[in-house]
Amino acid sequence: MPWDFVLILFVLGVIVPWRGSVRIRELLRQPALSTIERIAVYASTIAFQWLAVAVVLWRTTAHAIGVARLGVALPNLPLTALVTVALLVPLLANQVHALRRLARLPPEHQGFLGALARKLMPQNLAESLAFVALVATVAVCEELIYRGFVFTALYAASGGFLAAAVVGSAAMFSLAHLYQGRRGVFATFVVGLLLAAARAWTGSLAPCVIVHFFVDLVAGLAAPRLLRAPSAPVEPTKSTASAPEEGP
C-alpha cells in the first residue's frame, strides 16, 4: 500500500475519532448554543468533510485510480434501485422506532442521543436548512471516503479479498463515530457492513449515499421534535439511532 494511503488511513482511524470525541464533549459541556453557533458547527463540519474528500481524490488520482473504482458509477440501475429500497426501508423504520422509544423516556434517561439532539440538532427553520446541507455533505463525503477510498485501498492491499474491504471499511467508519460510545460504535459498524456489502454487490456508492442521507436526515430533523414531545414513560433503554458525524 502506498505511504500516502497509509497516512490517510492513520488519520481516519486515529486522528479523526480522537478529535471528533474531544469536540463533541466540548460542545456538550456548553450550557447552550445559539443559532449562529449551531450553524457555525455545521459549516465547519461541511468544510472539513470536503477538505478530506479533496485530499482523497488528489491522492487516488496521483495513483491513477479513477472515480469509477471508488464507486462513482452506476453499472446496474435496477439492482442499485432494489438494493437501495431494501436497505432504506428497514433502516428508516428502525430509526423512527428508536427515536419514538427514546422520546418516551425522561430526559435524564435519554443518554447521549438526547443530549446531542437538544444541543446540536436543528431547532428552527434556518438551522434545519443548514442541517440539510450538512447531511447531504456527510452522506456524499463519508461514502466517498469510507465505502470509496477505504474500501478500495483495503481491497487492493488484501489482494482482492472482498471480506477485508467490507469489514475493514465498516470498522473505520464505526471508529469515526467513537464519540457515540460503545453502543453507537457497534450500531454504526453494523450499518457500515450493510452499506459496504451494498457497494460491493452493486459496484456503486449510490445506495450508500441515499440511505446515509435519509437515515441521518430523519435523525436530525425528527429527534429534537420527538424529544420535546411529552409522552408516557417506558423503562430506560438504549437507542441505536445514529447522528451525522461531526468532523474535527
Verdict on whether the full-model pTM lies above 0.85: yes
The residue that leads in pLDDT, 161 or 227, is: 161
What is the pLDDT confidence band of residue 228, given thresholds at 50, 70 and 90? low
What is the pLDDT confidence band of residue 230, given thresholds at 50, 70 and 90? very low
Domain residue limits, the chain: 3-228
Cα R_g (the chain), whole angstroms: 18
User: Does 157 have pLDDT greater than 60?
Assistant: yes
User: Does 82 have pLDDT greater than 80?
Assistant: yes
- Angle 142-146-147 from CA coordinates, rounded to 5°: 105
User: Does 242 have pLDDT greater than 70?
Assistant: no
| pLDDT attached to residue 202 | 97
Task: Over range 58-80, report the average pLDDT.
Answer: 96
User: Does 75 have pLDDT greater than 60?
Assistant: yes
pLDDT digits (tens, 9 = 90+) for 2-33: 999 999 999 999 999 999 999 988 888 888 88
| pLDDT attached to residue 235 | 44
| pLDDT attached to residue 195 | 97
User: Does 54 have pLDDT greater than 90?
Assistant: yes
Alpha helices in 30-150 (DSSP H): 35-62, 77-103, 111-120, 125-142
Ranking 33-42, 49-58, 114-123 by mean pLDDT, the lowest is 114-123
Q: Are 83 and 198 in contact (CB under 8 A)?
A: yes
| pLDDT attached to residue 131 | 96
Handedness of CA 99, 104, 107, 112 (dihedral sign): negative
Show the cell assigned to 80. Answer: 442499485
Buried b (16+ CB within 10 A) or exposed e, 55-82: bbbebbeeeebeeebbbbbeeeeebbee
What is the pLDDT confidence band of residue 241, given thresholds at 50, 70 and 90? very low
| pLDDT attached to residue 186 | 93
CA within 13 Å, CB half, 139: 20
Please name which of 234, 218, 184 lies closest in space to residue 99, comparing C-alpha atoms.
218
pLDDT digits (tens, 9 = 90+) for 94-152: 988 888 887 787 776 777 777 777 888 898 999 999 999 999 999 999 999 999 999 99
pLDDT digits (tens, 9 = 90+) for 167-221: 999 999 999 999 888 888 999 999 999 999 999 999 999 999 999 999 999 988 8
Report how far apart the first and last C-alpha atoms of the chain are (Å, whole number). Answer: 26
